[in-house]
């Protein structure tokens, strides 16, 4: 399944991790560079 998540806050990031672990394709939309950096490190 291809999923688009708007927002990389706590809920969006957790949802993205869960879906990726379930082998889904995830596209996370986030404007804040610091949030993107944090998520990328995880």
- In this prediction, residue 3 carries a pLDDT of 98
- In this prediction, residue 32 carries a pLDDT of 93
Domain, as residue range, for 25: 2-41
Q: What is the pTM of this model?
A: 0.81
- In this prediction, residue 13 carries a pLDDT of 93
How would DSSP label each residue in 1-42? -EEEEE--SHHHHHHHHHHHHTT-EEEEE---HHHHHHHHH-
Can you give the pLDDT of all 42 residues of the chain as single tens digits? 999 999 999 999 999 999 999 999 999 999 999 988 888 887
| Distance of alpha carbon 32 from alpha carbon 18, whole angstroms | 21
What total of structural domains would you count in the chain? 1
- In this prediction, residue 42 carries a pLDDT of 77
């Amino acid at each position: 399944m291809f999923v688009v998540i708007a927002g990389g806050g706590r809920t969006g990031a957790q949802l993205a991790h869960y879906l990726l672990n379930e082998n889904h394709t995830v596209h996370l939309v986030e404007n804040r560079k610091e949030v993107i950096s944090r998520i990328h490190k995880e």
